[in-house]
Amino acid sequence: MATIMVAYHWMEYYHFRFLTTIISPIIAIFMRVFGETIVQRETIDQILFGRTINALNFLQSINGFVRTLIPIIPDFHEMISNFGDFHLLNNSFSLIDLISSKEFGPFEYYRYDKIGHHRMHQAKTAMGKSYFDFFQEPCNQMGGQDIQFFGIKDQGEWNELFLQPFCRRLPFHRKSKEWIRGVSGVKYEIWTDMFNMSIVENQCYCFSGRSLNDCDGYSDCSGTYAGVAFALTLPHFIGSPGLAKKIYGLRPNPDKHLSIMWLEQYLGIPIDVQLALQFNWPLHHLPSIGSLSNIRRCILPLGWFKGHGRSFGILHVGLMILSFLLKYGQLLLAIISALMAIMCIIMHYYQHHNDDFERNLDKIMKMFDFYWKKIQNINIFK
């Protein structure tokens, strides 16, 4: 199915979708010759870590012989096993290889704020490109900030996270301000409506030529993964009710399945970050050939992952001190300034009234001595 979906993606991109009914049966017959079927049962281990593709083994075995006889023939094995930025290892295809072998970077980031144009530490380019493939304007513009730093001072009501493997910017909105683990923090939560195509600003994430209904509820990642069909959603289809009602067994839990960021509110440094996203397999563009015609059209969940990181050790202690000083620094400075002012007034008074001060002090001491002796006499009388 991955092979057919890659073929469909590029035929759609070059406006040759009408060839799907011709190309798809050819691919199916070619696979059947080498013992592959379009729909077959695989273990989770094979999906994650891959298995050998018989057709690639065959091409590899005859490649050298054929090119020796006819040097002008291209290396078909190399062409098939390398697509986009990927190289299929050991003639196998797997999710782990797909994600890990994809080239990400180098990146360029802005180092200063320019109001109305960009923010500090916002992504400018990735691999020399300032845009995402296949999205429409303005959603195709590179943007979002690196997760390590979000800029000093107030980070605003909204933040966008830049993670190129997810092929788009991930919007977060501010929920609250409170202390977390001894640090003055701001809580940002992922926007659960970011895949909702009824919202106008989301509609430019729909590929050109597709209807909004086809794009609703998920983000298509095939533009980044060289045509391999991946759909990005929140775990258990949170925020995508149209997709959730087609799948049985979902148990969405916002506390567990939502992405949340806690940032130090003055320095923009992450304190506690939880990222949770779900990879899915789009099955609603499959051609109606053979056993594929029996598959219900849906976005099929493949699996979701959660990453959790937090500051700790001496770094967190330093962050606590800095956060306290930045939050209460003005108050501490005002108190210190007031104490210093009082001390200066006292010293100034003492310097200009030194004689009077000593005489008054002497009178006070004599008065104290007088009353102290009277107290002693009373005690003796008793």
Which residues fall within 8 angstroms of residue 157, CB to CB, at 6 or more apart?
A: 173, 174
Q: Is there a single domain that holds both residue 152 and residue 208?
A: yes
- Burial category of 24 from C-beta neighbours within 10 Å (exposed 0-12, middle 13-18, buried 19 and up): buried
Q: How many domains does the chain have?
A: 3
- Position 233 scores a pLDDT of 93
Among 118, 96, 127, 87, smallest CA distance to 226 is for 87
Give the pLDDT of residue 357: 60
Domain boundary (275, 297, 319) is at 319
Q: Is the domain of 244 the same as that of 308?
A: yes
Residue 22 has pLDDT above 80, yes or no: no
272 plus 300 within the same structural domain:
yes
In a shared domain, residues 233 and 315: yes
pLDDT digits (tens, 9 = 90+) for 333-342: 788 888 888 8
Highest mean pLDDT out of 26-35, 148-157, 332-341: 332-341
Q: Which of 257-261, 267-271, 282-286, 321-325 has the lowest mean pLDDT?
A: 282-286
Q: Tell whether 198 and 313 lie within a shared domain.
A: yes
Give the pLDDT band of residue 376 (cuts 50, 70, 90): low
* Last residue within a domain, chosen from 57, 83, 99: 99
Q: How far apart are CA 159 and CA 150, in angstroms?
A: 8
Structural domain that includes position 21 = 2-99
Supply the pLDDT for residue 197: 93
In terms of pTM, does the model score above 0.85? no
CB count in 10 Å sphere of residue 50? 20
Please write the tens of the pLDDT for every residue from 173-200.
999 888 888 888 899 999 999 999 999 9
Residues 171 and 283 in one domain: yes
Q: What is the pLDDT of residues 280-318, one digit of tens each?
A: 888 876 766 666 777 777 888 888 888 888 888 888 888
**Bridge partners (DSSP) listed for residue 305:** 277
In angstroms, the CA 120 to CA 103 distance is 25
Using only C-alpha atoms, the chain has a radius of gyration, in whole angstroms, of 34
For residues 263 and 169, membership in a common domain is answered with: yes
Residue 125 amino acid letter = T
On the question of a cis peptide bond just before residue 106, with omega within 30 degrees of 0, the verdict is: yes
- 326/315 same-domain check: no
Angular region, 208: left φ>0, alpha ψ -120 to 50, beta rest:
beta
Residues 227 and 269 in one domain: yes
Classify 177 as helix, strand or coil: strand
303 and 332 co-located in one domain: no
Pair (284, 246) in one structural domain: yes
Q: Tokens for 367?
A: 């008065």
Task: Give the separation between CA 327 and CA 266, rounded to whole angstroms.
Answer: 8
**95 and 115 both lie in a single domain:** no
How far apart, in whole angstroms, are the C-alpha atoms of residue 9 and residue 21? 14
